[in-house]
Amino acid sequence: MKRIFLTAAAILSTLSLAAPLSVKAENSAPVRRLLETRECFGCNLAGANLKGAHLIGVDLRNANLKGANLEGANLEGADLTGANLKSANLTKAFVSDTMLNNANLTNVDLSNSRLYNSDVDGAVMANIDLSGADVFNTAISIGGEY
């Protein structure tokens, strides 16, 4: 009886550990590549969960980050030139010396983030949420004509 109980417990614990892995499986290879090599040029990271990731100096040029969760991520010195960040969550992100040239920032949530010395030349910036954001030396402003 004791052996049956231990066998059942082992099987159930294995199944419970395997379940969360299947939820992340869709983007696991590109996410793993990014975190291991620090580059993912043109990668499809749509919907990826990169919450709190240390992405300092990564190469994400032309990457698809549509709907990705980058909440609290550190993007210092990252190159996101031409990246698609449409509807991405960058709440509380640290975006310093980041290249966002020609990136799609439509509907990006940058609330409570810190944007310092970042280059946004040619970026599409419609409906960005900058509430509570600290923006310094970055060509992003809230509404109005000058």
The mean pLDDT of 115-127, rounded to a whole number, is: 96
- pLDDT averaged over every residue in the chain: 84
Domain for residue 10, yes or no? no
Is residue 19 packed enough to be buried (19+ CB in 10 Å), middle (13-18) or exposed (0-12)? exposed
132 has a pLDDT exceeding 60: yes
| 140 pLDDT tier (thresholds 50, 70, 90) | confident
Domain for residue 129, yes or no? yes
The mean pLDDT of 97-107, rounded to a whole number, is: 98
Domain for residue 32, yes or no? yes
What's the pTM?
0.78
| 8 pLDDT tier (thresholds 50, 70, 90) | very low
142 has a pLDDT exceeding 70: no
Domain for residue 2, yes or no? no
Number of domains in the chain: 1
The residue segments making up the domain with residue 93 are 26-146
Dihedral angle over CA of 119, 104, 55, 135, nearest 10? 50
| 25 pLDDT tier (thresholds 50, 70, 90) | very low
Q: pLDDT tens, 27-81?
A: 589 999 999 999 999 999 999 999 999 999 999 999 999 999 999 999 999 999 9
The mean pLDDT of 106-122, rounded to a whole number, is: 97
CATH number of domain containing 46: 2.160.20.80
The Cα-based distances of 118 to 4, 25, 51, 101, 131 in angstroms read 61, 32, 20, 9, 18
At which residue do the structure tokens 């990014």 appear?
A: 34
Amino acid at position 135, single letter: V
Domain for residue 9, yes or no? no
Instruction: Give dist(CA 85, CA 66) in Å, integer.
Output: 5
